[in-house]
Amino acid sequence: MMNVNRREAMGKIVGFAGMAAGAAVMSQSVFAADGCPIDGAIGVGSDGGADLGANLLTYVELDPFAVAKHAYAAYGRGGCMYGVFDAIVKELAIQGHDDACNFAAIPTNITVYGGGGVKGWGSICGCVNAAAMIVNILDVEQTAVIDAMNRYYEKTPMPRGDDNFLTKIGAPTRRDDAGALLTADKISQSTAHSILCHTSVTNWSAASQFGGHHDAKAERCAQVTAEVAFKTVEFLNLSLNGELTIDPELERYAKNNDECVSCHTGTTREPGAYIGSDVNSKMECQTCHAPHDEIGAIPHHAEESCSTCHPK
């Protein structure tokens, strides 16, 4: 097994996506340990769930504000998924615990693909994708933390926009057409009602009246990246201390789905007993699907194309 200097390890492995830009804000404790093993260092397993579950990495309590500040800056280097993942992984790598070297060996730039809901496809938001990705390799209550984060993203008006949070993460940094900073009152808030990128951005654009290619969208997404990183760490810290409970208004189970899953749940039906499409999802159904009694009439815009009202 090859041993390398800690500084070399960070430069060669963790720093693919803007190490030079981020070095100024990283703690000097990043370089405190010498001799991190690199060959085979991570050891989290590649032979399926049982192997992975036997090699989970240790989570240690992090400062949510430090992670959020890191994530806000990282968004500008690699987008939303990279921002959340890079912030949590690198903050774990500088804590000086037994798994610090393992976290330092993770190439965080592998998450850049997640921006724009996976390379612009508008599917799962890169922020929650990243949160689930890091939680998946940690020895914590994985399902509970992921459920809590996804439901928070789905149900909470974002970005949070309070002065204390913005000051601590160093926001805002982007400006409107007149050259003025894009303050919270300009950015506005919206509720995604989904964990999908396109739904989240569409609802925000309608609320803020900014176009999706404006710098305001980048500022908004950078702040959401910071907020998701912040909340993920809060949930992880609670899990670590055995105190993770879900706000009743952010329930892990969407009660509005009850009527839907009475017919559309996962079953073992075969063709002779099949009555309707099975669904496997915890997302709020009626965000995208109207109840049956509301969809009898043809929508008034059925003969139009998407681009009629939503030109690029």
Among the residue ranges 36-40, 75-79, 171-175, the one predicted with the least confidence is 36-40
Decide if pLDDT at 6 tops 80. Answer: no
Decide if pLDDT at 233 tops 80. Answer: yes
Examine residue 37 and say whether the peptide bond preceding it is cis (omega within 30 degrees of 0): no
Residue 193 backbone phi and psi in degrees, to 5: 55, 25
CA-closest candidate to residue 247, choices 114, 123, 151, 135: 151
Tokens 């989970």, residue located: 56
pTM over 0.85: no
Q: pLDDT tens digits, residue range 21-62?
A: 343 334 433 443 445 655 545 655 666 666 667 788 999 999
Decide if pLDDT at 228 tops 80. Answer: yes
Average pLDDT along the chain: 80
Please tell me the predicted confidence (pLDDT) of residue 283: 62
Decide if pLDDT at 86 tops 80. Answer: yes
Name, in order, each residue with C-beta under 8 angstroms of 147's C-beta and a sequence gap of 6 or more: 246, 252, 282
Q: pLDDT tens digits, residue range 127-157?
A: 999 999 999 999 999 999 999 999 999 999 9
Tokens 């070095």, residue located: 23
CA-closest candidate to residue 71, choices 233, 235, 240, 239: 233
Decide if pLDDT at 222 tops 50. Answer: yes
Name, in order, each residue with C-beta under 8 angstroms of 75's C-beta and a sequence gap of 6 or more: 82, 83, 218, 221, 222, 225, 226
**Cα–Cα distances in angstroms (integers) from residue 292 to residues 215, 257, 259, 260, in the given order:** 40, 13, 11, 10
Class of residue 50 by CB neighbours under 10 A (exposed 0-12, middle 13-18, buried 19+): exposed
Among the residue ranges 201-215, 226-240, 247-261, the one predicted with the least confidence is 247-261
Distance CA 41, CA 39 (A): 5
Q: pLDDT tens digits, residue range 256-311?
A: 666 766 666 767 777 877 776 766 566 666 666 655 555 444 455 555 666 666 66
Distance CA 292, CA 87 (A): 43
Name, in order, each residue with C-beta under 8 angstroms of 293's C-beta and a sequence gap of 6 or more: none
Decide if pLDDT at 9 tops 80. Answer: no
Please tell me the predicted confidence (pLDDT) of residue 12: 37
**Cα–Cα distances in angstroms (integers) from residue 312 to residues 118, 137, 309, in the given order:** 18, 38, 10
For residue 55, count other CB atoms closer than 10 A to its CB.
15
